[in-house]
Homo-oligomer: A and B are copies of this chain.
Amino acid sequence: MQRRQESPDAVKIRTLPVQVAAHLTRRIVSGDVEDGRAPSELDISQEFGVSRVVARETLKILASLDVVDVAQGRRVVVRPRAEWDYLSPLLIEWLPAEIVGELLQELHQTRVLLEPELAAMAALSITDETLERLGDEIDRMSALEADPDAYLEVDHEFHMEICRAADNRILDRIMYSARWLGTASRRITNEAPAALRKATADHAEIYEALVARDPEGARAAMRKHLRNNSTLLAEKEQRTERAARRR
């Protein structure tokens, strides 16, 4: 639901600082930047041929992602990778495919922990209007099985609607980030269009449990749904591994 204004995968012209931040992050990840010492504003402006203003904003962006620490007088330092903000779509986008793959797995694990409980909570507090919207979305999804992109859009909305029913801004934020990142890898499910029918059935089951205000049922249905997704992810993983071995 959020950031819908950016949705249509437009070839977004990013600002200069974002582009430079992307390059710099890739260089850090690849190990070119040694020993935690990040380039200074001046270094950046010279190396990338941009003004100091841009170099400065670049560092500010990286600081907001907990990639670097910046303070007056001190040199900018690269923070330990374990502390970077991997919930940020921006950062994920700059990381190599290998790491993104790992993160997607960890992401899925997170969803497996949270979403069944969210469904159970929603079953207790969901309103009739929300149920109506969920019903609509199920209808729309079954009509969109031929168009995976549009399908996933509604799918995202369906899950977020359930999350929102739990009325918890923290969980909402987490799920939003988690699912946002997930859509970055939509190809995973796109490659298995037959699976969409299965997903539709799962969604219907979740919906029924919510209508019945049945927490246990909702939890179980959501768990089952995620288990199916997990199978898909594993299959995809195997496929890419085989592909890598062939190379």
Contact = CB atoms under 8 A, between A and B. Distances in A.
Contacts of A176: 83
Contacts of A174: 87, 110, 174
A186 interface: no
A110 B171 contact: yes
Which among A2, A169, A171 has the highest number of chain B CB atoms within 10 Å? A169
Nearest to A65: B64
Interface residues on A, range: 35 or more
Contacts of A110: 168, 170-171, 174
Contacts of A64: 61, 64
Which among A53, A72, A109 has the highest number of chain B CB atoms within 10 Å? A109
5 contacts: A2-B79, A106-B168, A107-B170, A109-B168, A110-B168
Given A2-B66, A87-B174, 19 more contacts: A2-B79, A2-B83, A5-B69, A15-B72, A53-B53, A57-B57, A61-B64, A64-B64, A86-B169, A86-B170, A87-B170, A103-B170, A106-B169, A107-B170, A109-B170, A109-B171, A110-B174, A113-B114, A113-B171
